[in-house]
Amino acid sequence: MGRYIPNTDQDRQDMLEKLGLHNIEQLYEDIPPEVRLKDSLSLPAPLSEMELVSHMRAVAAKNKIVDEYVCFLGAGAYDRYIPSVVKHVLARQEFYTSYTPYQPEISQGTLQAIFEYQTMICELTGMDVANASMYDGASALAEAVCMACQATGKGKVLVARSVHPQSREVIVTYGRFRGINVQEIGYDDGRVDMEELKQHMNRDIAAVVVQNPNFFGVIELLDQIAEVVHHFGGLLVISANPISLAVLKPPGHCGADIVVGEGQPLGNPLNFGGPYLGFMATTQKLMRRMPGRIVGQTVDLEGNRAFVLTLQTREQHIRREKATSNICSNEALNALAATVYLSVLGREGLKEVALLSMRKAHYAFERLISGAGCSPVFSTPFFDEFLVKVPTPVEELNKALLSCGIIGGYVVEKDYPELQGGWLVAVTEKRTREEIDALVREVSQR
């Protein structure tokens, strides 16, 4: 019998007999012959376990990987250190082979872990409540926009151009089909252009969307933005980098109404773009507008503290077309990775990761300017990623760097034609001084 099928020919015979049937074909009598497949599917011949592993290794070998190349590429996905513990917890079958915790009596492990995750996200963002995760940072941001429009009953949003280009694209896609009008607000010296914001802000705007640190790595002045947005009765939606939240003022303390972000840097490998996780948090006031699953605390019959999926009347399986969103499967295992990561790093460790990355990034910035002929693009403070203008054509530079073992920064002119020659460099805690010096050396030689 085929792979992963335990029943034998004899079992099949016995079971058919019990059904009063002679062959498997009879099970499919309800399918009209016109739609029955006449031939076998045309698929490659099945591989044995050994052959499969060889095949996958051979395909994997065609990739260049950050274990062997030094990575200065960020732009929304970061090559960060993942403590060994994370992988070992995730490998517990009770976590990774279980379903959504709809049966709380046998799902307390997942439920309590999510409750701990929600607490950590609230602590990092400074918000009241968090959900159990969204697909990724970009779709979480688009959902936040939809949520803001539902909550305010308005259909127009302002999105800072300094928000990740892919996130802006996802907002536009989600918005287009439900009639949400999306308008961009430019940047001035790398930060939201306050004048432009004031000019476009009015009472018809449901929300203003800002990323912090923004796509250029620059730290936004959230308090000032919040003041303008709230003055006109709009909601402030922030997309935050979770590592930065160890040291930066939490958006919740700056007046944010919804905070989302890409959770990949919290213990999740790069994985060519996924699975990652989107986190989402909001205020008590907007709690019942939030999409996605939420875990709450309660007690069982014997008075023991226990956890359960709650506020489910917001969700699709109860409310159908009136639900706050259609999301059901989320990124639970990635959220677990984030929870374990944040437990390992803890209060001091996460600050240390943030500080190490910032110091290394600032060192790289100084050295690229002083020793490699790069010039700064903005003068505003940045976190651990920054934009410089390089002296040579930027695509060629990256090509040359790749040939000497370096994955260079992100070429921003693809998304920002006005920033020709702009190179977005990310420096995480994994980069060493030696690697940064080598980068500077290679750039200076071009």
Partner 1 sequence: MKGRPLIFEMSKPGRKAYSLPHCDVPQLALEEMVPKECLREQDAMLPEVSEVDVIRHFTRLSRLNYGVDSGFYPLGSCTMKYNPKVNEDVASLPGFTQVHPLQPDEAVQGCLEILYRMDRLLSEITGMDRFSLQPAAGAHGEMTGLMIIKAYHQHRGDIRRNKIIVPDSAHGTNPASAAMVGFEVVEVKSNDRGEVDLEALKAAVDDTTAGLMLTNPNTLGLFEGNILEIADIVHKAGGLLYYDGANMNAILGIARPGDMGFDVVHLNLHKTFSTPHGGGGPGSGPVGVKKELEPYLPVPVVEFKDGVYHLDYDRPLSIGRVKSFYGNFSVILKAYAYIMSMGSEGLREVSEFAVLNANYLMERLKDHYQIPYNRRCMHEFVISAQRQKERGVSALDIAKRLMDFGFHPPTMYFPLIVKEALMIEPTETESKETLDAFADALIEIAQEVEDQPEKVKGAPHTTPVRRLDEAKAARNPVLRWKP
Q: Does 198 bind partner 1 (CB under 8 A)?
A: no
Q: Give me the least distance between CB of 203 and partner 1, in Å please.
A: 24
d(CA 358, CA 251): 19
Residue 44 buriedness (CB in 10 A; 0-12 / 13-18 / 19+): exposed
Tokens standing for residue 104 = 């709380």
Tokens standing for residue 253 = 């303390």
Q: Does 227 bind partner 1 (CB under 8 A)?
A: no
Q: Does 241 bind partner 1 (CB under 8 A)?
A: no
Cβ proximity of 302 and 284 under 8 Å: no
Q: Does 150 bind partner 1 (CB under 8 A)?
A: no
Q: Give me the least distance between CB of 103 and partner 1, in Å please.
A: 6
Which of 79, 257, 415, 442 is the binder for partner 1 (CB under 8 A)? 79
Q: Residue 143: what are its φ and ψ, rounded to 5°? A: -65, -35
Stretch near partner 1 under the rule CB under 8 A, chosen from 190-198, 200-208, 246-254, 386-394: 246-254
Q: Give me the least distance between CB of 440 and partner 1, in Å please.
A: 12
Residues 6+ apart with CB under 8 A from 29: none
Which amino acid type is present at position 186? G
| DSSP three-state, residue 131 | coil
Tokens standing for residue 326 = 């259609």
Cβ proximity of 219 and 383 under 8 Å: yes
d(CA 30, CA 378): 67
Q: Does 61 bind partner 1 (CB under 8 A)?
A: yes
Stretch near partner 1 under the rule CB under 8 A, chosen from 58-66, 153-161, 186-194, 225-233: 58-66
Which of 211, 241, 398, 428 is the binder for partner 1 (CB under 8 A)? 398
Q: Are strands 235-240 and 258-262 parallel, antiparallel or unpaired?
A: parallel
Q: Does 370 bind partner 1 (CB under 8 A)?
A: no
Q: Give me the least distance between CB of 196 and partner 1, in Å please.
A: 21
Q: Does 183 bind partner 1 (CB under 8 A)?
A: no
Q: Does 404 bind partner 1 (CB under 8 A)?
A: no
Q: Does 144 bind partner 1 (CB under 8 A)?
A: no
Which of 190, 234, 250, 267 is the binder for partner 1 (CB under 8 A)? 250
> How many residues contact partner 1, by CB under 8 A?
204
d(CA 194, CA 132): 34
Distances (CA, A) of 107 to 95, 96, 111, 254, 304: 9, 12, 6, 36, 15
The helix or strand, by DSSP H or E, that contains position 411, with its residue range, turns out to be: strand 410-411
Q: Are strands 406-407 and 70-71 parallel, antiparallel or unpaired?
A: parallel
Q: Does 9 bind partner 1 (CB under 8 A)?
A: no
Q: Does 441 bind partner 1 (CB under 8 A)?
A: no
Which of 22, 24, 183, 195 is the binder for partner 1 (CB under 8 A)? 24
Which of 44, 153, 379, 417 is the binder for partner 1 (CB under 8 A)? 44
Q: What residues from 254 to 313 belong to the interface with partner 1 (CB under 8 A)?
A: 262, 269-276, 287, 293-306, 308, 310-313
Q: Does 226 bind partner 1 (CB under 8 A)?
A: no
